[in-house]
Structures are given as structure tokens and as C-alpha cells.
Structure 1
Amino acid sequence: MKEGQIMHTAEKEYIKIQNKLQKKIEIQNNIDIHAIKRVAGIDLAYWNAENKEYAVCCIVVLENESKQVVESKHALGMIDVPYIPGCLAFRELPLILETIKKLDTLPDLFMFDGNGYLHPRHMGIATHASFYLNKPTIGVAKKYYKIEETDYIMPPNEKNAYTDIVIKGEVYGRVLRTQKNVRPVFISVGNFIDLHTATTIVCDYVNSESHIPMPTRLADMETHKIRRMQEPTDNLSKRSD
């Protein structure tokens, strides 16, 4: 079987799994925001070496009240699942779950550098991973993942201003400007949480240093640092969607 045929077969199987899991998504609030003790940020980065692809997953856990880092873990691994648009989770989940096993305690909520419900089948990495974590999850993407040729409406240039991304009458996510005069981020629920609560939590984790919430920003910084240690050339890449 040729490579293209293999990828097509894999994509069909992946979409079948996504459609099955989609029926189990719970986008109503299932968390007491005042009871959250720890929040984790998750990010991955990739590089190539000797015709093979590798990645690092970093998880940074913050104490919710103080916003201080309580632990940081990472895992490295070779990636053998090809990139297929809309099926990113199948590349990333194994390394994410390996990293989570290294955590001393399981956080109350996970924040992903990526999408959740904002996905053609509502199965971005934040949503897909939730079925393995059994914890509320939030997707926070730096770039817009365009669906159904739907453009987003830029929110007013005010702190915490937002507009919703509505596709065929359904809210898929939210465009959030976390500070004045900064680029917006794209919020979507992962699972076991509603969009209002997700937005409140993201805003609570933004400080003056960046328009990106602290958990995913710190995880992103860790991936850059570790990736450079592993591959000090220009042959580096970040995730595609």
C-alpha cells in the first residue's frame, strides 16, 4: 500500500474515532471555579533529525491562588504518526499521556496550547485529551483554525473584550483580547466546562508579561528551551494546527 493510501486509511479511522467520541462531549460547566487548586499548561514542539521526527511535550503546573509554578515535567519521543489536518491529537496524545504520568499530582484543570471544540468535528487536542484525563480542559490557540470558511470578528481593542465564533448557528469558540493593544487568542472549551467559565479562567491567568495565559505560555517557553537543547539547528517546527 502506498504512503498516500496509508494516510487516507488512517484518516478515515481517526475521523471514525472522533465522531464516536464527539457524542460524549459535555460543554456544560462541571467544575467549581472556587475549588480549583492547580492548573496545568500543555504544549508540544517538534524537530527533525536524521530523517526522523521528534517532539517534546512540556507540562507546567501552577498553584491557582498564588499563580506560582509548583512543578514542570517533560517527555521526549519520536513521532511516527503523520500529520493529518484535523487529526493532530493522534500525533500528540501518546507523548502528552507519557508526560502526565510524571506529574506528582493530577491538576484540577488542563489548559492546552491548541484548540478544543473549535474544530470541524469538535475534537481538537483539548477535547480529545479530556477523555483520557477525566478533567476539565480548555483550548487556547494563538492562531485561528478556520472552519467552514468562517472568518472571525475582531473584538474591540479593550482588555477582556471578545466576540464569539459562530458557525451555522453554533458557537464553536471565542476570540478574546486579553489586554489592550495585543493580538487576540482563540478560546474553546475542551470538555466538562462551559465557554464562560473557560474565558474567566483564561483571563485570570493573564499578567502584564504576555497576552497568553501563564500555564500555556510557560509550557511553550519550556518546549522552546528543551527543543533547542535537542536540535540546535534551524530545522525546527511548531505544531501545524
Structure 2
Amino acid sequence: MEIKEVHNFNIYEKSEFVEIQNELKKKIMLRNTFNKNNIKLVAGVDLAYWENENEQYGTCCIVVIDYNTKEIVEKVNSVGEIKVPYIPGFLAFRELPLVIEASKKLVLEPDIFILDGNGYLHFNHMGIATHASFFLNKPTIGVAKSYYKIDNVDFVMPENIEGAYTDIVIHNDIYGRVLRTHKNVKPIFISVGNHIDLGTSTQIVSKLVDKESHIPMPTRLADIETHKMRELYKHKISNNVVRR
């Protein structure tokens, strides 16, 4: 899969992170740039971390499924040392290098990417799902399992009914949606990444949730894969099998 080189990642200053976010957010499109009736492949993206000799490593796994049959059609992964520390609001600069490396290995070209994290539901509307879209050049959706307050605004819990939702409105702008995918189960937090609207994002996520979990299949499968690959790479790196 071809990746757009939007910017490099040889940056470590928060002021530069903000500058890049401010430039990219001008190009966010909160509408569908595709025919939602023609979706065939959806990719789930997730990462896992570990430490080795005081250095932090990560692996990114991407699992692509057939949107209609729900069958897995491709799996790829990447591994590398994590150079950027965790800074709230700037997760993309920490994780995207591995996401991009894994995406380059894809033979198939997903129509939609779902990332474990936020998109527009971010203080600067530039969560990892939105940021990633500029490199992937595909519509993206952010699905998070928890909510971090923006401007001290909390969310309203949806009814305890499958499919119930409430919107997170901040400064009269809808930042994201709280969706109850199963009764008696914690809701998830959906937000637009880019090139898609919130209603379509909700429909896609809802269709991809099964009885196994309250999160969509692509990111659930990617999460499972990251745990497998983390154990594999931990062993290889500790034994100097993988080049640093």
C-alpha cells in the first residue's frame, strides 16, 4: 500500500507537534469522500509496548477483514524502538512511525481504517485516527475505550440499550459519540478520523461489533495480534535476533 509522506518524525519538541497539528487540521473533512455502499475491506490498527534494557519498544499490528463476511484477509505488523515519550494529546507522534511501517506492508488496500484511539474527539481535533489519515490517504475512524475530558466537559451516559448513543458536544461542536454496543456493557467512544461523517462511522462500527466484544472486530483482532507479536518480538530483541 502506498503511503503519503506528509512530514517526517525527526521531531521531539511539543511546540513542533502543535505546529504540525494546526497545519493538518485545516484539511480535515467531516464528510464521506467515498460510497459507503462499496465498502469491501476494513482494517483495524492497534499497538502494544514493552521495555528491554531501559529502552521502550512497540509493535503495531493491522488486521484487515472482509466487511461483509467478517473473514480475516490479511495481517501485517511492524516493530521498533519508541523514541517519543508519551505526551497527552500527541500520541500520533509516538505511534505513527510504526503504523506507517506496518501499512506499507499491506498487499491489499483497505477502504476504511479503524484505529484504537481518538480522531476528532481531541482538544485540537487531531487524535491519532485523524493524523494517520493524511499518511494513509484513506477514511479513518477512531474508537476509544475511555474518554479524556476536553475543556472539562464530561460525556452523558447513553441508555442501557444496545445501539443507544449520546453525542459529546463542546463549544457547540460535536466532537464525538458515546455508543452502547451491548446492554450492560461499557460504551465506546467513536469519533471521525477524516474523510467520513460521524453517522457513517457509527454505522460501520456497529456493523463490525459481534457478541465477542463491545469493540469492533478489526481493532479487537488487531489487539489480540499485538499481544502475540509482543511476546515474539520481546524474545527476539532480548536475544538480539531483531536489529535495533
- 2:121 is the alignment partner of 1:111: no
Which of 68, 71, 86 is matched with 1:68 structurally? 71
Which residue identity does 1:113 align to in structure 2?
A: D
Runs (4 or more) in structure 1 with deviation over 6 Å come to none
CA displacement at 1:189 relative to structure 2 = 0.3
SS of residue in 2 equivalent to 1:215: helix
- 2:222 is the alignment partner of 1:219: yes
Residue in structure 1 matched with residue 97 of structure 2 by the alignment: 94
CA displacement at 1:230 relative to structure 2 = 3.5
SS of residue in 2 equivalent to 1:65: coil
Which residue identity does 2:176 align to in structure 1?
A: G
SS of residue in 2 equivalent to 1:144: coil
Residue in structure 2 matched with residue 43 of structure 1 by the alignment: 46
CA separation in 2, counterparts of 1:225 and 1:183? 25
CA displacement at 1:225 relative to structure 2 = 1.7
SS of residue in 2 equivalent to 1:26: coil
Residue in structure 2 matched with residue 178 of structure 1 by the alignment: 181
Cα RMSD, aligned residues only: 1.3
CA displacement at 1:157 relative to structure 2 = 0.5
CA separation in 2, counterparts of 1:228 and 1:168? 44
Residue in structure 2 matched with residue 235 of structure 1 by the alignment: none
CA separation in 2, counterparts of 1:47 and 1:67? 30
- 2:134 is the alignment partner of 1:131: yes
Residue in structure 1 matched with residue 149 of structure 2 by the alignment: 146
CA displacement at 1:84 relative to structure 2 = 1.4
Describe the superposition over 1:122-164 as per-residue Cα deviations: whole angstroms up to 9, x where unpaired.
0000000000111100000011121111110000001110000
Which of 26, 29, 52 is matched with 1:26 structurally? 29
CA displacement at 1:231 relative to structure 2 = 3.7
Describe the superposition over 1:96-116 as per-residue Cα deviations: whole angstroms up to 9, x where unpaired.
110011111110000000000
- 2:79 touches 2:233 (CA, 8 Å); kept in 1? no
- 1:38 touches 1:107 (CA, 8 Å); kept in 2? yes
CA separation in 1, counterparts of 2:221 and 2:190? 17
| Unmatched runs of 5 consecutive residues or more in structure 1 | 1-8, 233-241
CA displacement at 1:93 relative to structure 2 = 1.0
CA separation in 2, counterparts of 1:163 and 1:31? 26
CA separation in 1, counterparts of 2:183 and 2:36? 25
CA displacement at 1:81 relative to structure 2 = 1.3
| Unmatched runs of 5 consecutive residues or more in structure 2 | 1-11, 236-244
CA separation in 2, counterparts of 1:70 and 1:146? 37
Matched residue count: 225
SS of residue in 2 equivalent to 1:119: coil
CA displacement at 1:228 relative to structure 2 = 2.7
74-83 or 189-198, which deviates more: 74-83
TM-score, length basis structure 1:
0.91
SS of residue in 2 equivalent to 1:31: coil
Which residue identity does 2:34 align to in structure 1?
A: I
52-61 or 73-82, which deviates more: 73-82
**Identical aligned pairs, as a percentage?**
61
Describe the superposition over 1:158-215 as per-residue Cα deviations: whole angstroms up to 9, x where unpaired.
1110000011111000000011111000000000000000000000000111111000
